[in-house]
Amino acid sequence: MRAKKILVTAIALLVGAALLASTAAASPPTTILKATDYGRRAHWLSLPTGAPKRVAVFYLYPTEYVAQAGDPIIGPVNDPTMMAGAQVAFERQAWAFRTFADIYAPYFRQADSAMRAAMPQKEQDKVVAGAPTVDGIAAFEYFIKHYDHGRPFILAGHSIGSNVMANLLAQYMKGHPGVYKRMIAAYVVGYSITPHYLAQNPILKFAKGPDGTGVIVSWNTEAATVDGTNPVILPKGIAINPITWTRGQTVASAAQNLGSIGLNLATGGTPVLNANGSVKRVLNLADAGVSKTKGVVICSTIDPTQPPYFRPGGFPQGVLHTFDYPFYFFDVRANAHARVEHFFASHKGF
């Protein structure tokens, strides 16, 4: 039964990824939807307690809702399968920031990927711009009003979470320049940011180097060859190298990588930990090189034919979507921390 569930989830994630291209910075829905009540603690995956750190992170996880027979296309915010999957994703992605920032993560409503796939293109766009984005923006507004307390912050997401984050950036920031001024960076990972998106949202800027602030950081990871079409990328996507944090095509070696993480398949893919509970560092695993032609980061040092990098029923061979954060986990941690330090050095009022 567990194997069947894993296979169904993998297929749903694959189909859902294929729909990302249809939802770039979708316009707000014309029908007013009621947002989830983020005044309730039960609607938050992570709410830090204790003495606040000087920086906060607002994180949105990838698609984890899988509808069963008779279920609606939009799952409830308290769907047990989604909540469990969100916790796993949180640990292998958002934990990259936990050493220096408080991480706030809402549960948000998601659409079943297979059911969306049966819809016409415009209907798919409406679904993503609907409840998922409405919840994402409502949760962010609640975070700003009640939890951030004027601190500089980082946005972070993956896959459909990054899709919603791109919508949030496009729809919210231009009307709230004071909030945008406090944004250190937005890690919109596993989702393509395109020149068209940036042209439509001229206040938003894509990172050019390792220490810029107020910028978007994004990449999608592939092996040197892909068996078929990568369903998660958009044409003309912009990618940054997650080892050197530059946009040029010079390859950064695996030896330059500050550390990847292993995933514990027995727990669904949480990080492998050291005895003291810290995340175990894996060295010399993943290199990174930007391909401007494909709009992705290419990792050439792993064997894409072998598990866990390829599993039947999952992504096409060579699509390393699941490993966007795990391959470069400690590089993300170091880079985000460096951007924090640069922000405070260049913004004396904080």
Beta strand segments in 85-150, E? 102-106
Residues 6+ apart with CB under 8 A from 170: 25, 197, 200, 201, 204
Domain count, the chain: 1
Domain region containing 201: 2-346
Backbone angles phi, psi at 158, to 5 degrees: -150, 140
User: Are 230 and 324 spatial neighbours (Cβ–Cβ below 8 Å)?
Assistant: no
* Alpha carbon separation from 269 to 123, 264, 278, 326 (Å, rounded): 32, 5, 16, 10
* Alpha carbon separation from 202 to 26, 137, 154, 169, 199 (Å, rounded): 16, 20, 20, 11, 5
What does the pLDDT read at residue 311?
87
Residue 301 CB-half CA count within 13 A: 17
Tokens of 43: 């609607």
Residue ranges, the chain, pLDDT below 70: 1-31, 114, 117, 120-122
Separate counts of helices (H) and strands (E) for the chain: 9, 12
Strand partners, 44: 106
What does the pLDDT read at residue 25?
52
User: Are 93 and 59 spatial neighbours (Cβ–Cβ below 8 Å)?
Assistant: yes
